[in-house]
């Protein structure tokens, strides 16, 4: 017997599916695209110049416009966020030893450490923001510690001041994986100005996209130049190669796509905000279903809408709810499950042991990201809430 039919009577489930099931499958995210003709028109300059990559005109325009839009001074565009983070660590000379980071993230965060010959040291997370728990960092610092790599999970700002102070006391660098934090502001300023460097991802599933793409935000022009040199094979000019670089460049077609996205990203975020508010209204007070709230000092981007399913209080576990919603044509994601600390390359590390990471383990067990994107049918939050409410009433 499947776990659903054990908990919800089959006839009853069939009735609910007839009543609430969506006619078209809804994905957890979906990019908001410019029209194809608009995109083609935006490429005319690229075609006429016949200049496709390597610091082209569109690339430079996107860099300048993004810097202004985000409120940062020094930005370098990349082919994707993972390579951007890899290069950021190289630029800060973090290429060995240990770095304290979070297990509750996309695997790329830890993998980039691994590719830089750095041993990740996993630190547990806070239950409200899902971010690295700054109060647990200091106990993990040892003679090999080089840096703290925080992730602004779901766009929630890490405790940047506390982390800065810890780093200053111990002579550590601070890097942020800000893949989720496009446009997020903390106390009126860009979140990206915190730390020694921040990485952004412009992957198709993110709030702002260049299909694949990313960026590094540096605190100075000197570091930006170093990042740019490293993303271009370590070539300084036609006569000199000054370091072991790689190819991390963004091309003109990606950049043109990004310029169009930049025109609509504020509307995308405003639409997502409405969806998030609708979920919050409709999901309120379903026993065992809890949600993330906006932080009073932050402007959010609504990239994700995670809920936590408490098995005992709701009556079903998260995995069953995931399978159940699929029956109604609603896709959700267990983001982030499994924890990256469970991957075989890290599972043997002392810091990866589940009993040391109780909050992260629990979040990974309970979290479910619901569909959210600018063009989502505005009825979906209400439909999801009705299903969750009726199913709960049925199993309670």
Could you list the residues that contact ligand PLP (CB under 6 A)? 80-82, 105-106, 108-109, 151, 177, 179-180, 201, 203, 214
Give the span between the Cα atoms of 360 and 354, in whole angstroms.
Answer: 9
Tell me whether residue 113 or residue 289 sits nearer to ligand PLP (CB atom).
113
Token pair of 356 as six digits: 């040391």
CA atoms within 13 A on the CB side of 39: 14
Cβ proximity to ligand PLP, 124 vs 324, nearer residue: 124
Could you give the CA distance from residue 390 to residue 287 in angstroms, rounded to a whole number? 12
CA distance 350 to 352: 6
Cβ-based nearer residue to ligand PLP, 112 or 388: 112
Closest distance between ligand PLP and the C-beta of residue 179, in Å? Answer: 3
d(CA 109, CA 205): 17
- Distance (Å, rounded) from C-alpha 370 to C-alpha 309? 12
Would you say 124 or 212 has its CB closer to ligand PLP?
212
As measured in angstroms, the least distance from the Cβ of 82 to ligand PLP is 3
As measured in angstroms, the least distance from the Cβ of 269 to ligand PLP is 17
Residue of minimal Cβ distance to ligand PLP? 81
Question: CB of residue 177 vs ligand PLP: minimum separation in angstroms?
Answer: 5
Nearest-angstrom CA–CA distance, 78 and 292: 31
**Smallest gap from residue 50 Cβ to ligand PLP (A):** 28
C-beta of 59 vs 180, nearer to ligand PLP? 180
Report, in Å, the least distance between residue 32 CB and ligand PLP.
17
Please confirm whether the linkage preceding 338 is cis (ω < 30° from 0): yes
CB of 101 to ligand PLP, least distance (A): 11
Closer Cβ to ligand PLP, 368 or 383, answer by number = 368
Q: Closest distance between ligand PLP and the C-beta of residue 23, in Å?
A: 31
Cα separation values, 218 from 112, 137, 222, 326, 381, Å = 18, 24, 9, 42, 38
Please report how close the Cβ of residue 206 comes to ligand PLP at its closest, in angstroms. Answer: 6
Bridge-based pairing state of the strands 189-190 and 185-186: antiparallel
* Residue whose entry in the numeric block shows the structure tokens 């590390």: 349
Tell which residue, 6, 28, 30, 4, has the closest CA to residue 17: 4
- The position carrying tokens 């990256």 is 340
By C-beta, is 78 or 279 nearer to ligand PLP? Answer: 78
φ and ψ at 240, to 5 degrees? -140, 140
Tokens of 73: 């001074």
- Least distance to ligand PLP from the beta carbon of 76, Å? 14
**Cβ closer to ligand PLP: 315 or 371?**
371
Measured from the CB atom, is 210 or 320 closer to ligand PLP? 210
Nearer to ligand PLP, 194 or 392 (CB): 194
Q: Please provide the DSSP assignment of 229-298 as one string.
A: HHTBTTEEETTEE-S---B-PPPHHHHHHHHHHHHHHHHHHHHHHHHHHHHHHHHTT-TTEEE----TTE
At how many degrees (to 10) do helices 252-283 and 380-395 cross? 40
């Amino acid at each position: 017997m499947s776990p659903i039919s054990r908990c919800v009577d089959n006839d009853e489930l069939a009735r609910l599916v007839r009543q609430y099931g969506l006619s078209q499958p809804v994905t957890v995210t979906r990019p908001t695209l410019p029209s194809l003709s608009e995109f083609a028109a935006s490429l005319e300059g690229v075609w006429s110049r016949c200049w496709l990559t390597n610091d082209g005109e569109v690339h430079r325009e996107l860099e300048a416009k993004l810097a202004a839009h985000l409120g940062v001074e020094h930005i370098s565009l990349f082919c994707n966020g993972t390579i951007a983070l890899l290069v950021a660590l190289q630029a800060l000379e973090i290429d060995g030893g240990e770095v304290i980071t979070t297990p509750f993230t996309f695997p790329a965060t830890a993998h980039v450490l691994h590719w830089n010959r750095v041993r990740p040291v996993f630190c547990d997370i806070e239950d409200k923001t899902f971010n690295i728990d700054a109060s647990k960092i200091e106990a993990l610092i040892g003679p090999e510690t080089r840096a703290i790599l925080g992730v602004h999970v779901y766009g929630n700002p890490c405790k940047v001041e506390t982390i800065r102070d810890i780093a200053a006391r111990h002579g550590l660098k601070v890097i942020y994986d800000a893949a989720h934090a496009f446009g997020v502001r903390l106390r009126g300023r860009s979140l990206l100005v915190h730390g020694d460097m921040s990485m952004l991802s412009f992957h198709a599933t993110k709030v702002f996209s260049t299909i694949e793409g990313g960026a590094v935000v540096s605190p100075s022009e000197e570091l930006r130049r170093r990042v740019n040199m490293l993303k271009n094979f370590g070539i300084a000019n036609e006569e000199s190669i000054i370091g072991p670089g790689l190819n991390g460049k963004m091309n003109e077609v990606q950049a043109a796509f990004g310029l169009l996205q930049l025109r609509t990203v504020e509307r995308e975020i405003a639409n997502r905000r409405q969806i998030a508010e609708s979920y919050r209204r409709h999901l309120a007070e379903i026993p065992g279903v809890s949600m993330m709230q906006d932080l009073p000092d932050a402007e959010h981007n609504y990239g994700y809408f995670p809920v936590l399913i408490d098995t005992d209080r709701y009556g079903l576990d998260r995995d069953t709810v995931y399978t159940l919603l699929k029956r109604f044509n609603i896709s959700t994601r267990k983001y982030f499950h499994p924890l990256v600390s469970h991957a075989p390359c890290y599972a043997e590390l002392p810091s990866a042991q589940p009993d040391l990471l109780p909050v992260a383990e629990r979040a990974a067990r309970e979290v479910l990201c619901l569909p959210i994107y600018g063009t989502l049918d505005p009825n979906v939050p209400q439909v999801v809430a009705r299903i969750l409410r009726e199913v709960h009433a049925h199993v309670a």
